[in-house]
Amino acid sequence: MAAPPRPALLTFDVFGTVLDWRRGTLEALARAGTPLDATRFDEVIDRQGRIEQATPGTPYREVVARSLVEVAGAPPDAARAIGAAAGEWPLFPDSAPALRRLSARAPCGATTNSDVAHGEAVQRQLGFRLAHWWCAEAVGRYKPDPRVWEHAARDAGLAFGPAWWHVSAYADYDLEVARRLGLTTVLVVRPHHRPGAADLVVPDLAAVADRVERMA
């Protein structure tokens, strides 16, 4: 595509893009006494995706707990505690400063497969609130269901188009749908990302902020 226009809205995947999903999961499992080899993290993600699509009304904290019991053999009580605290997993170091910079240029929101409480915890870590926080618990659907983006469009009062940038480390369940809807897609090459087609490819969120600031 031609160079994307200056964004009127930026939306972000959270787990794996803003928050270090893999590190948070593996460290929590280690603290619970059921360590999981990092090479098996994809099994956790894929199990969560199957649970989400089979039972879209299941809270994410329960999705996490089930996946950790089934994949890692975590005790159910420990798995439930890990799921409830998922919003406290560590941010990538660039996330808070980059999102603050971007929020000064355009409204920023999250489209995230998580619960309301996770969003509160993530925003406490950021130290500020985003303009929008669209999570699976509130929407009643999990990505890649396009109704997540349709809900966001209605709430933000913005039509689908290239002035809406969607930023994610996951091209499979996230950017693929955003591209079909006509959004500008930005792939962030995090340590655990899933490659695929995107309009822009960047190493981190700071690079997104740099690009948007050059457009001002």
pLDDT of the residue at 216: 65
- For residue 67, which of 41, 89, 91 has the smallest C-alpha distance? 41
Confidence of residue 129 (pLDDT cuts 50, 70, 90): very high
Tens digit of each residue's pLDDT (9 = 90 or more) over 91-119: 999 999 999 999 999 999 999 999 999 99
Confidence of residue 210 (pLDDT cuts 50, 70, 90): very high
The pTM of this model reads 0.96
Ordered by start, the domain boundaries in the chain are: 9-20+89-215, 21-87
CATH number of 9-20+89-215, picked from 3.40.50.170, 3.90.1170.50, 3.40.50.300, 3.40.50.1000: 3.40.50.1000
Query: DSSP class of residue 93?
Result: T
Cα 52 to Cα 19: distance, rounded to the nearest angstrom: 19
Burial of 130 (0-12, 13-18, 19+ CB in 10 A): buried
- By the 8 A CB rule, do 15 and 111 touch? no
Tens digit of each residue's pLDDT (9 = 90 or more) over 35-57: 999 999 999 999 999 999 999 99
- For residue 156, which of 43, 10, 55 has the smallest C-alpha distance? 10
Place of tokens 């962030």: 188
pLDDT beyond 80 at 120? yes
Tens digit of each residue's pLDDT (9 = 90 or more) over 183-196: 999 999 999 999 99
User: What is the number of other CB atoms lying within 10 angstroms of the CB of residue 5?
Assistant: 13
Cα 20 to Cα 95: distance, rounded to the nearest angstrom: 10
